[in-house]
Amino acid sequence: MTAALTQTPKAKNFQRLKALGLSVTSTIQHQGCGSKGGSGKSSCGSGAGAGDLPEEIWEKVKNHPCYSEEAHHYYARMHVAVAPACNIQCNYCNRKYDCANESRPGVVSEKLTPEEAAKKVLAVASLIPQMTVLGIAGPGDPLANPDKTFKTFELVAKKAPDIKLCLSTNGLALPEYVKRIKDFNVDHVTITINMIDPKVGEKIYPWVFYKHKRYKGKEAAKILSERQLEGLEMLTAEKILCKINSVMIPGINDEHLIEVNKAVKSRGAFLHNIMPLISAPEHGTYFGLTGQRGPTAQELKALQDKCEGQMNMMRHCRQCRADAVGLLGEDRSSEFTKEKIASIELNYDIETRNAYKMQVEQERQKRVAEREKELKEIAKENSELKILVAVATKGGGKINEHFGHAKEFQIYELSTKGSKFIGHRRVDLYCQGGYGEEEALETVIRAIRDCVAVFVAKIGSCPKEALEKAGIETVDRFAYEYIEKAAVSYFKEYLRKVNAGLIHPTKKEDALIRQGALVPLN
């Protein structure tokens, strides 16, 4: 009898992952993933865990990196760019670039046919067992390209039945396709809703193309809004999980998004994702060219906080490309070009994929147990104080990244309720092949200057000094520990010092949100 035959199923699974060079932690670390962090249990659905949601909802979201903040530590999504056409014009979009509803402005490197897309999905699934979701999010609108979109879903469902199907749309054509969405088992749909008032809408949408006719101004916005809300109601009636994306455009729809939030909540939306406007002039969008600014970090957080009382908020969105591949904080799309796929051996192995999921479940339970222990401790404290900290991590929910290697920092709000993930800040890499880049350090400080401290696995003396001069404590004593556990432990100590009069908390300066999402990994 060979050794393989005497192995337990668990050992076999472990071997399968090892053959791919994978484990829950090593996979994420290897990829230098920007996807990490986690929040305490809260009413926030995106951060909610198994015990916070009804069983049938948890089953739908537990492996979806966008619908569960907790899942995005471990699971990846991929997009296939099969939908080039669009039926509306948004003032934050330039057709030459990705759909800003779901991606940073950046060209889609390759458009695909449904057959090419299905092959790409199998290639990615063969090499990245943590890829659990296929999303179609552009570069135009998936429902303005219904044949290509549904053909892709059909091919993938046949060949890789364990992959969840996900769709993101502007909603104009949605009511016509709800039945097809249901029939194709697409269980997650995102609608981008930026307004429910045509007076606001006409400032965002110059036109829509509906029933063979182009509409402009308020009339266009009214049609769009009615179709979006009707589509949302139809989807939720079919028990399809709906996420609403909204682009926050200061001075145009920022306050209005509170009304949008109420309207979508009352129609059964599961999650609301308010994203900052991306409007760099070089993208050539109307807003970019007219100098419309995006929100600051505090403006965005304040609006998300206001809406959180109403419904579950997503705060871990990376505004990813329409052809993104990988964990949310990374982009591995360049590894899966048509040319490279031709040389990848397709080996879609459901057992390896299940083995990865089993490992993730074990890892999740460990993290939850540690978090719960710390939460009990901090709950004894009595204080209204809230502070922000930035964390350098490359995955697994741990503080495991060097300061100089971080491409983004995770931001946590600490209070007596525990630690809560509130977003990420993209930064320029400080360490440039052995030396520190002063300009990059400036951008890091600007991105995290609303934080009291930055947690890192390691940091050199130069950046440490500059950060401390800027009022940001550098903390490396929790290197390689779980973020939540370390954060609560830090907050307890911080509170003790405040109570003893050793620290006098002051209002921190607002931070700047860096335009766009992550750049591809090197």
- Which CB atom, from 212 or from 507, has the smaller least distance to ligand SF4? 212
- Residue 249 binds ligand CLF, judged by CB under 6 A: no
Report if residue 275 touches ligand SF4, rule: CB under 6 A.
no
Interface positions, 221-260, toward ligand SF4 (CB under 6 A): none
Interacting stretch for ligand CLF, rule CB under 6 A, among 130-138, 196-204, 280-288, 360-368? 130-138
Give the DSSP letter of residue 197: S
Compare residues 170 and 515 and give the one whose CB is closer to ligand SF4.
170
| Beta carbons within 10 angstroms of residue 305's beta carbon | 12
371 binds ligand CLF (CB under 6 A): no
Distance of CA 155 to the CA centre of its chain: 26
- Residue 192 C-beta: closest distance to ligand SF4, Å: 7
Q: Can you give the three-state secondary structure of 356-389, one letter per residue?
A: HHHHHHHHHHHHHHHHHHHHHHHCCCCCCCCEEE
- Binding ligand CLF (rule: CB under 6 A), the pick from 122, 173, 232, 320 is 320
Burial 1-29 (b: 16+ CB within 10 A, else e): eeeeeeeeeeeebbebbeebebbbbebbb
3-state secondary structure 379-439: CCCCCCCCEEEEECCCCCCECCCEHHHCCEEEEEEEECCEEEEEEEEECCCCEECCEECHH
Binds ligand SF4 (CB under 6 A): choice among 68, 101, 225, 228 = 101
List of E strands, 291-364: 313-314, 325-326
In angstroms, rounded to a whole number, what is the distance separating the alpha carbons of residues 512 and 427?
A: 10
**219, 282 Cβ separation under 8 angstroms:** no
Among 17, 22, 66, 307, binds ligand CLF (CB under 6 A): 66
Return d(Cα 329, Cα 253) in angstroms, integer.
27
Q: Does 88 participate in binding ligand SF4 (rule CB under 6 A)?
A: yes
Q: Could you give the CA distance from residue 299 to residue 301 in angstroms, rounded to a whole number?
A: 6
Q: Give the one entry of ligand SF4, ligand CLF, none that residue 413 binds, where binding means its C-beta sits below a cut-off of 5 to 8 angstroms depending on kind.
A: none
Beta bridge partners of 154: none
86 lies in the binding site for ligand SF4 (CB under 6 A): yes
Task: Mark the segment that binds ligand SF4 (CB under 6 A) among 10-18, 38-46, 92-100, 311-319.
Answer: 92-100
Looking at residues 147 to 166 of the shown chain, list those that interact with ligand CLF (rule: CB under 6 A).
166
Provide the minimum distance between the beta carbon of 221 and ligand SF4 in the complex, in angstroms, as a whole number. 13
Selected from 89, 94, 152, 190, the binder of ligand CLF by CB under 6 A is 190
Q: How far is CA 366 from CA 237, 359, 363, 397, 482, in A?
A: 37, 11, 5, 11, 10
Does position 102 bind ligand CLF by CB under 6 A? yes
Residue partners of 326: CB distance under 8 A and separation at least 6: 31, 33, 76, 78, 128, 131, 332, 333
From 135, 198, 288, 329, residue interacting with ligand CLF (rule: CB under 6 A) = 135
Q: How far is the CB of 453 from ligand CLF (least distance, A)?
A: 27
CB of 85 to ligand SF4, least distance (A): 9
Q: How far is CA 219 from the centre of its chain?
A: 33
The enclosing H or E element of 207 equals strand 207-210
The answer to whether 246 contacts ligand CLF (rule: CB under 6 A) is no
DSSP 59: H
Binding to ligand SF4 by residue 170, rule CB under 6 A? yes
Q: Which does 77 bind (CB under 5 to 8 A by kind): ligand SF4, ligand CLF, none?
A: ligand CLF
Q: Does 328 bind ligand CLF (CB under 6 A)?
A: yes
The span from the CA of 102 to the CA of 292, in Å, is 19
Least distance to ligand SF4 from the beta carbon of 124, Å?
A: 23
Per-residue binding letters, 278-317, with ligand CLF (x by CB under 6 A): ---------------------------------------x
Among 47, 129, 140, 295, binds ligand SF4 (CB under 6 A): 140
Query: Is residue 132 at the binding interface for ligand CLF, with CB under 6 A as the rule?
Result: no
Closest distance between ligand CLF and the C-beta of residue 319, in Å?
Answer: 5
- Please identify, using beta-carbon distances, which residue of 102 and 450 lies nearer to ligand SF4: 102
The C-alpha atoms of residue 197 and residue 256 are separated, in whole angstroms, by: 8
Kindly list the residues in this chain that would bind ligand SF4 in the complex (CB under 6 A).
Answer: 86, 88-90, 93, 99-101, 138, 140-141, 170
Kindly list the residues in this chain that would bind ligand CLF in the complex (CB under 6 A).
Answer: 66, 77, 79, 102, 133, 135, 137, 166, 168, 188, 190, 273, 317-320, 328
